[in-house]
Structure 1
Amino acid sequence: MELQQLRYVLAVAETSNFTRAAERCRVVQSALSHQIASLERELGTRLFERTSRRVRLTPAGEAFLPAARDCLEAADRARAEVTAASGEVRGRLAIGAIPTVAAVNLPVALRDYRRRHPRVHITLASAGSDDLIERVRRGGVDVAFLGLPPRVEPKGVQSRRLGGGELVAVVAPDYHLTENEVDLRGLADEPFIDFRSGSTGRAQSDEAFAAAGVQREVPFEVSAADFMVDLVRQGLGVGMLPAAYAPRFSDLRVIRLRDAPTRVEHLIWHTRPSPAAAAFLELIRADQPESVSRPGSAGRETFSA
């Protein structure tokens, strides 16, 4: 069994197509098919069901795939550890982030990291906090930036608090509300544009309105802050954004909330960070010179930004 064979299996599993898998691996399809067939003979079972219309994993292939992925990740980690020992950081760094990161200037951090470690292949994906926690747990993402309600801590990962802040209401410039500061009860009759029900982004607002004894209507549910802002611009309702993030949209009017919902931003990472991930964590730590560390729960280091 060879690592290259495992890479071929993973590529076919992810693309469900031998031709696309061969293109991804930069080999001719016949060579890829031959290597997978050779591996199947060695294992004594087929990993894929092949028809003229589709390719899919067999039950044996489903069982084989997680171990194959672990082997490849272990090999990549071994290479990265060797190069890091010689003073050079290589490998890959998969970063995840909620769309409304405000505690860290992520574009600047990525720029600085690339300048310091040009041999690292960086990827960035945007998603919700719950999804990112699961991706980090499973090893698909190395580090991620989250926004959670104050009472919630990410579980199953290492984490660091980056700071907290209040949410504000945002409305179109000509929206009928004229106050610059209200309490949540004053917004009870307004239609809201918010994140989907059950998401951590939505929970921050829902919990605050519930605590204030206010029932609100949320006719527009979105999965991205930019889409929320687009709907707010059309005067369709009131949006809720972090106070540190809302100024990016200078065409919207901000309404401060006397009993504002709050959130805490976290940086999380896998329990065994790769050299590339460790270098990124060190960069973020260096960018927080005024941070004050204090004891946290097991697997958590907290500080205020």
Structure 2
Amino acid sequence: MSVLVGSVVTIGMFWVVPTGLALLDGPRPPGWDPLRRAWPLFAAPGALSLWLPRSGLSTALAAVYALATLALALQAPARLFLTRSLRPGEVAVLTALAAPSVAGVALVAERTSYPLFGFDLDILALTVPHFHFAGFAAALVAGLLCGAGDTPAARFAALSVPAGTALVLLGYFVDDWAELAGAVVLTAGMTAVAVLTLRERRAATADRVTRGLLAVSALVLFVTMLLALSWALGEATGLPHLDLTWTAATHGLGNALGFTVCALLARRRLASDRTAAPAPVPAPTPAPAAHPRTELPA
């Protein structure tokens, strides 16, 4: 696995997933808190496997991480059982919980040098960051935006980001045109996320750092998703486009650092601000006016 992809995936394993999980509200199924706290213990062998040659050892280390992602995926039906909700925001959250398992399985196959479903090892290697960042982080942010403001645009983002991610995955098995359709849907959803983030930036906080992080995360999306759309269009039609290596270095790196890291840092700061905000002090109740004393006639 290349140094660039390995570095990005390491960030996804160690920081993106546990940071994102800590931002989720709502009911927590049994095992949620122990899994979230122990996540770095599973991420360590997974990250180590990225930097070792493909071998039995790197496969075993990747399998440890894959088991953790499968345990996380099982939290999705458990959460659904508790919420009994398929509102758009919940659909996005459930997608986020399931997505890392796709990355975990792809990682094991790539470390084993096994062309899973006929995919070459380069595609499997890029599937790992894709489902950490597009699959997990983007769906999670879309779900959080929908939870913060249940508007038509937020519902569209919360549904189209998971749908686009699923269609891109389906396109792997069908053809380049199906993958292009998925890229169009995903780009539309991510554009909605960017627009909603810019609106949130204006209204949410006066803190310059948080506002800056929100702005970067939104503006980067406009560029990186156009690059992804250009690559999918080129693959389907034969039009000139960046090759897979350059697409990973531009679109992939931009989405990982410019969007995901900045968006999650901003949302962690917003959550901390809400937690630290003092409760409003109720206004004192005015004392009742004294009744004038009535003098009786002598």
Q: Shared fold by TM > 0.5?
A: no
Higher relative contact order (CA 8 A, sep 6+): 1
Query: What TM-score, normalized to structure 2?
Result: 0.22
Higher strand share: 1
